[in-house]
Amino acid sequence: MFTTSSPRSLFASALLTTSLLLGLSAHAQAELPREARIKAVLVIRLVKFVEWPGEARAEPLNICTWGESNTAAGLQTLQGQSVREREIRVRQLTSSTAGPDLRGCQVLFVADSVRDVTPGLLYGSGNPAVLTISEMPDFSKRGGIISLVKQENRVAFDVNLRYAREAGLQIGAPLLQLARVVD
């Protein structure tokens, strides 16, 4: 690899080896566009301000992704981290004509590649107390609870309180102060 054994080349070799051993997650994260990484982290931060009915703190937080996008891939890289003392588990869903099976999901991230999103598809299968988040245009008007919106050079978000209430979710005041509220 290196032809000299200077301290600098040994350090570079050790650094390269360590980088390779860190695993695919760090490598995959580095390949993602910056905006996708920001949105994935934003999803996790938004979750901190949501309370689920009968929430058990010791249980993992199951984040399900539906469809293909860079942000969904970014969420996969956060697998195993913690939010509010709950381990994050990320699962990619497949869908049937009735929509995805949401059993076990507390959060559903809907990629903008998914078409024909309706409240029936989002909440009709499995767990009704699911926080739905997407980056697709007008998601909060199509049944979603949180819609990530790009404004100039930043990512903002809309919150649909009606759908949050119907899902039995409590959205914290600090989150609502930063959001555009859609009802």
* Domain boundaries defined on the chain: 1-31, 34-182
Domain 34-182 annotated CATH 3.40.50? yes
Q: What is the per-residue DSSP string for 120-157?
A: HHHHSSS-S--EEEE-STTGGGTT-SEEEEEETTEEEE
**CA 126 – CA 119 distance, rounded (Å):** 13
Q: What is the pLDDT of residues 85-97, one digit of tens each?
A: 899 999 998 866 5
The residue assigned the tokens 């996790």 is 44
Residue 57 has a pLDDT of 63
Listing from the earlier edge strand, what are the strands of the sheet with 180-182?
A: 82-83, 86-93, 61-66, 107-110, 131-134, 146-151, 154-160, 180-182
Q: Which of 183, 182, 181, 178 is nearest to 48 (CA)?
A: 178
Residue 42 has a pLDDT of 94
Residue 61 has a pLDDT of 93
pLDDT above 80 (res 124): no
- Quick one: average pLDDT of 138-150? 91
Give the Å distances, CA to CA, from 161 to 6, 77, 90: 62, 29, 25
- Quick one: average pLDDT of 19-39? 63
Residue 160, sorted as left (phi over 0), alpha (psi -120 to 50) or beta, turns out to be: beta
pLDDT above 80 (res 145): yes
- Kindly state the percentage of the chain with pLDDT values over 90: 51
Q: What is the per-residue DSSP string for 13-65?
A: HHHHHHHHHT-HHHHHHHHS-HHHHHHHHHHHHHHTTEE-TT--TTS-EEEEE
Q: Are the C-beta atoms of 69 and 76 separated by less than 8 Å? A: no
Query: Confidence band (pLDDT; 50, 70, 90) for 107?
Result: very high
Q: Which of 175, 161, 173 is nearest to 43 (CA)?
A: 175
Least confident residue range of 46-55, 123-132, 137-146: 123-132
SS3 89: strand
Query: Confidence band (pLDDT; 50, 70, 90) for 27?
Result: very low
Q: Answer with the residue of higher pLDDT: 54 or 148.
A: 148
Residue 11 has a pLDDT of 30
Q: What is the pLDDT of residues 34-56, one digit of tens each?
A: 999 999 999 999 999 999 988 76
Task: Say what the pTM is.
Answer: 0.79
**CA 149 – CA 17 distance, rounded (Å):** 39
